[in-house]
Structure 1
Amino acid sequence: MDVFFSADVETDGAIPGPYSMLSFALVYAGTYDGNTFIRPDEYTRTFYRELKPISEDFDPEALAINGLDRAQLTVDGVSPDQAMDEAFDWIQQFSGTGKPVLVAYPLSFDWTWLYWYFVRFSKRGSPFGHSRCFDLKTAVAVKTGRTISSSSRAKLPVRFASDRPHTHHAVDDAIEQAEIFANIYEGGTE
C-alpha cells in the first residue's frame, strides 16, 4: 500500500548545501492499495519543524517570500539531525507496513531539499527511498492534456483546486497540496 505525505519546504535559497531549509511540513494525504484511494476526512496529521540554518549564505528574496526570521532560527531552530530523525519516525508511524510516498507541487523543488536533508542528516536516510514520489504538476498535465509548462499552480483547473490560500507557511501549503492531490487522484469534481 502507498501511504502519501504532502510536503512543503521554506528555504533561504535555491539549492540545499550552500543554502538552508528553514522549515518544512508533512501532512498525511491518504492511501492507495492498487484499487482504492482513500483520502483523510481531515488534514490534521501534520509534522512541522523550523530548523537552524546550515550555512551563512542566504538569498534575501527567498526570506521575503517565506517571512521566516533566519537570525532567530539560528538561536531557536531545531538541529537538522534532530528534525530529520523526528520526521522519519513520524512518517514510519503513519505508514505502518505501507510504503511512504512524497507528494509535492512541484515535486522537483521540495523533493530536492527533503531528500538531501534526509540523506545528509537522518541516521536512517530517506523514508521515501530514492524515488517514491508523486509530482502534482505532472499529474495536472496528464489529467488535463496540457503541457508541463502550462500546468502551474496558478493555472490549476477549478475542479482540482483547494479552497485554502497559498500562504508560504509550510503547514498551510502542505495541507492545500494534500487537497489538490486528493482531487486529482479522484479525478476532480466539476
Structure 2
Amino acid sequence: MRIIQRTDKGDLTKLVDEVTLPYDVYFSADIETDGAIPGPNSILSIGITYAGTFDGETFSAPVDYETTFYRELKPISDEFDPKALEVNGFDRDRLKVEGTDPQEAMSQAAEWITKVAGAGDPILVAYPLSFDWSWLYWYFVRFSKTGSPFGYSRCFDIKTAIAVKHSRTIVTSGRDRIPSFMKPDLKHTHHALDDAIEQAMIFSKLFTKSEK
C-alpha cells in the first residue's frame, strides 16, 4: 500500500512524498513430527506455502498455491512415539540416511521465507498455531544460521480467528468443525505440504468469504 501526497499548482502536479507502509506476508506452515515436544523428539517434515498479503485494508490472495517449500529432515534424537509415526507414515531409519540435516533445512527455509516476503513482514499461519509454532520457533532458533524469520511472535492462529469471527468457542473451532462455506478443496492428508496448502485455502476464506 502506498500513500502519495501531492500539491497542485495550476496545471502542475508535484509528487511531494511517497511512503511504503508495512505489510504482512503470510506463510502457511505444517509439520510432521515423531513425538510431542522438540528436543527429545524431532521434526520429520516441513511444508510451507505462500498464503497472501495484507496491508491493513486489502488482503491479496495467491493466484495459486505453488510457491512452496518442502523438506524431510534427519531425526535429532533416538526418542520417538510410535503412534506419531502411525499417523504420518514416516520411516525414521530412511530419514536418518536420506533426510536433510536440520541446520541445512532450517537455514534454507529461513532464506526462502525472507526472499518470498521481500519488503514485507513474514507471518507464520497455522491451524492450530500453538503446536507448529512451538516446534518451528525452537528449530529455527536452534538450527537456522539466521534465526527465526518470524521473530519471536509474528504469527496468526486460524483457530482463534474462526472463533472470533463466527462467535464460537475455541473448542468448537477445530478443523473437524470448520464452517461449511470455509472448507477447502483438499483433504487433510498428514503430508506437511498438502496440509499447509489446505490451511492456506482456509485462511484465504477468512478474509474473502462471509457466512450466508
| Shorter-chain TM-score above 0.5 | yes
User: How does the TM-score come out when normalised to structure 2?
Assistant: 0.88
Give the distance between the partners of 2:201 and 2:191, measured in 1 at CA: 16
Q: Give the 5 Å matches for 1:171-182.
A: 171-182=193-204
Q: Which residue of 2 aligns with 1:26?
A: 48
Query: Relative contact order (C-alpha < 8 Å, sep 6+): which is higher?
Result: 1
Q: Give the 5 Å matches for 1:121-136.
A: 121-136=143-158
Q: Which has the higher helix share?
A: 1
Q: Which residue of 2 aligns with 1:158?
A: 180
Q: Which has the higher strand share?
A: 2
Q: Which residue of 2 aligns with 1:109?
A: 131
Q: Cα offset for 1:144?
A: 1.1
Name the CA shift for 1:170/1:92 in 2 (closer, same or farther; >3 Å).
Answer: same
CA-based RMSD: 0.9
Where does structure 2 lack aligned partners over 5 or more consecutive residues? 1-22
Q: Which residue of 1 aligns with 2:12?
A: none
Where does structure 1 lack aligned partners over 5 or more consecutive residues? none
1:57 aligns to what SS in structure 2? coil
Residues 1:79 and 2:101 are matched in the alignment? yes
Percent pairwise identity: 62
Give the distance between the partners of 2:152 and 2:183, measured in 1 at CA: 29
Give the distance between the partners of 2:55 and 2:42, measured in 1 at CA: 36
Q: Which residue of 2 aligns with 1:185?
A: 207
Q: Which residue of 1 aligns with 2:79?
A: 57
Q: Cα offset for 1:189?
A: 5.8
1:129 aligns to what SS in structure 2? coil
Give the distance between the partners of 2:181 and 2:202, measured in 1 at CA: 9
- AA at the equivalent of 1:102: L
User: Runs (4+) of structure 1 moved beyond 3 Å?
Assistant: 187-190
Q: Which residue of 1 aligns with 2:19?
A: none
Give the distance between the partners of 1:53 and 1:187, measured in 2 at CA: 40
**Which of 29, 41, 44 is 2:66 aligned to?**
44
Give the distance between the partners of 2:128 and 2:29, measured in 1 at CA: 10
Partner deviation per Cα, 1:114-139 (whole Å, 9 max, x = no partner): 10000000111100000000000001
Give the distance between the partners of 1:188 and 1:121, measured in 2 at CA: 41
